[in-house]
Structure 1
Amino acid sequence: MTAGQPTSRTSTLVGIGAIVTATACFAMLDTTVKVVGAAIPVLMALWFRYAIQAVLVTAVMLPLKGRSLLRTAHPRYQLLRGCLLLAVSVLSFTSVQLMPVGEFTAIVMITPLAVTLLAVLWLGERIEPRRWLLVFGGFAGALMVVRPGGGVVGWASLLPLLMVFIYAWFQILTSRLTQTEDPWTVHFYTGWVGALGASAVLPFAWTTIPDIATFLQLMFIGLMGAIGHFLLILAYARAPASTLTPYLYGQIAFAMLCGWVVFGHVPGTLELAGIALIVGCGASASVWASRERHLPVDPPEA
């Protein structure tokens, strides 16, 4: 055994631990958003989520990196990326009010399949027939979960599918930016674009926070978002995407656990079958994508 092998193995284990913890953070964030949304407008929760993340990233990274943190060769793409993630967050915060957290998370996990589809339609990439089967299988699983027109949620549950396609564009843009930009610079601009965008609409949504418990929950949302993103950057710096990808789907398990503990919700047989189909097709597609094209496939960011 060479001297370098233990270090590499340790680094990979750190990356896996970081990605699993990040998925737990995002699952708790979504669950808390659903709880808070019963008391205050979701746009207030959205503002807390971005403002806290932007302030924390600036406070931690600006002293470490100085002006280099602000240096970017693609300011327009940074702005576009921030706007795309803000749109994803609006749809995410709205969707999680309308459906169980576990099912919502499962639907969002078809993002790798949507990335594949958009890469074919707009980027002109060619994929193998087996990848097409995975795309169709994943979307079939999503329809089994949302059951448009047939469940309590009905057609409103198609909102997360719209979110998936916006998030797929976000992922494609991220893959381009991270080839030339410092990940912390990308993270910095995305946080501040979201914070400023949410601030623009905050006066129209602001209401009195009813109690200290709600305020603490809002702070928790921002904290989980910031910690989750810190851990994502750490994970992808320590281990290859192809190694980390299967662990991303642990977020569905965390979300279902949170949904059961907080709301007493257990998915039905059809929903579980759809979730299993999404996990199988999505994990396979994202592993192949990360190996062949090095596209990042992060857990759903709220």
Structure 2
Amino acid sequence: MPHQQRPTLGIALVVLMSVCFAGMDTTVKYGGLFLPVLLMLWVRYATQALAMTAWLALSSTAGFRAAHPKFQLVRGMLLLGTSAMSFFGVQHMPVAEFTAIVMLTPVIVTMLAAWVLHERVSPLRWALVVGGFAGALIIIRPGSGLFGWAVLFPVAGTLCYASFQVLTSKLSALESPYTTHFYTGAVGAAVLTPFLLASPIDIPAVLHAASGPHLSLMLCVGLLGTFGHLLLILALGFAPTSTLMPFVYVQIVSAAFFGWVAFRHVPDAFAFVGMAVVAVCGAASAWLNVREASSRRPMSPLAADTITD
């Protein structure tokens, strides 16, 4: 039974979701000082798989059966690639700047829609594309030596996630969002397991040497990622997608705040300007993407998922 429309509650849930993902990225960056990043990445997906297994086992409206297993596999792989770029990328860049560049995803989706799907793109949408890239260049400042090769992580993550968005927008209505989130975690954990076992990481030794707080941080990574996506699904039951999507850019503000709390890092004036430009252009692009998609057919919670995890 659909929820009654309650836009304020929906916005509050999306804001909380954005805080969860900013907190996860900051936790990953801090945890990387003590724990193997690959192990944290595995825990993030294994936690989601276990949590969604319990959720589906208790659910009467969704199950484990996938109508399109190939879609689940490809979608899971694309999101895993995005997460890998994020987990390893924040080890080399401040969380706020990294987050702002990744938030170019709706802008990249516009380009892919034009080039790959041959969809018509309005002059306003192209202006937002140019503006978004200008904001990213202000943050990165090529030639400044601020981040160097590390900018390849958010750039690759953004391209991967934009591809994920295009695929999801075409096929998301075919599956339950809860079932798909289960397979997202299961695919990620299954793919990462052999890599983790083949790596030089001595897992028993790492876990034995880790302190209680460090192990708690690793668990928090998985819980924040899983909980964040569930918040999005719940939010979309209370408010239209076009109302909610601009508020995902609270993640940039949250990332800047957590980066200051954890690492005393404050973006410089140029970075703040670039973040503002990316946020405005990205939020406008996301809103236009959602409005046009929903005018063609009802928007699925999966298709509205514009946050990397």
Paired with 1:265 and 1:106, the residues of 2 have a C-alpha distance of 15
Q: Does structure 1 residue 193 correspond to structure 2 residue 187? A: yes
Indicate how the Cα distance of structure 1 residues 224 and 155 shifts in structure 2: closer, same or farther if over 3 A, else same: same
Is the Cα contact below 8 Å between 1:112 and 1:297 reproduced in 2? no
State, as a whole percentage, how many aligned pairs show the same letter.
Answer: 46
Aligned to 2:83: 89
Q: 1:202 aligns with which of 185, 196, 220?
A: 196
Classify the secondary structure of the residue corresponding to 2:166: helix
Deviation by residue 1:145-189 (Cα, 9 ceiling, x = unmatched): 122332332132132011101101111122223212111111111
Is the Cα contact below 8 Å between 2:248 and 2:307 reproduced in 1? no
Moved over 4 A (4+): none
Paired with 1:205 and 1:288, the residues of 2 have a C-alpha distance of 46
Indicate how the Cα distance of structure 1 residues 282 and 136 shifts in structure 2: closer, same or farther if over 3 A, else same: same
Paired with 1:136 and 1:297, the residues of 2 have a C-alpha distance of 23
Q: Specify every segment of 5 or more residues in structure 1 that has no aligned partner in the other structure, as ranges.
A: 1-5
Deviation by residue 1:253-277 (Cα, 9 ceiling, x = unmatched): 1100000111001111111111111
Paired with 2:83 and 2:200, the residues of 1 have a C-alpha distance of 16
* One-letter identity of the residue aligned with 1:279: A
TM-score, scaled to structure 2 = 0.91
Aligned to 1:3: none
Classify the secondary structure of the residue corresponding to 2:226: helix
Aligned to 2:282: 282
5 Å-filtered alignment, 1:165-180, equals 165-180=159-174
Is the Cα contact below 8 Å between 1:242 and 1:287 reproduced in 2? yes
Q: Tell me which protein shows more helix as a share of its residues.
A: 1
Aligned to 1:213: 213
Is the Cα contact below 8 Å between 2:56 and 2:64 reproduced in 1? no
Is the Cα contact below 8 Å between 2:165 and 2:306 reproduced in 1? no
Q: Does structure 1 residue 101 correspond to structure 2 residue 108? A: no
* One-letter identity of the residue aligned with 2:286: S
Deviation of 1:112 after TM superposition, in Å, equals 0.3
Aligned to 1:238: 238
Paired with 1:148 and 1:47, the residues of 2 have a C-alpha distance of 33
Is the Cα contact below 8 Å between 1:148 and 1:157 reproduced in 2? no
Paired with 2:31 and 2:200, the residues of 1 have a C-alpha distance of 14
TM-score, scaled to structure 1 = 0.93
* One-letter identity of the residue aligned with 2:22: A
Is the Cα contact below 8 Å between 1:43 and 1:205 reproduced in 2? no
Deviation by residue 1:214-273 (Cα, 9 ceiling, x = unmatched): 111000101111111110111122211100011100011110000011100111111111
Q: 1:40 aligns with which of 15, 32, 35?
A: 35
Classify the secondary structure of the residue corresponding to 1:70: coil
Classify the secondary structure of the residue corresponding to 1:71: coil
Q: 1:301 aligns with which of 295, 298, 308?
A: 308
Matched positions, count: 294
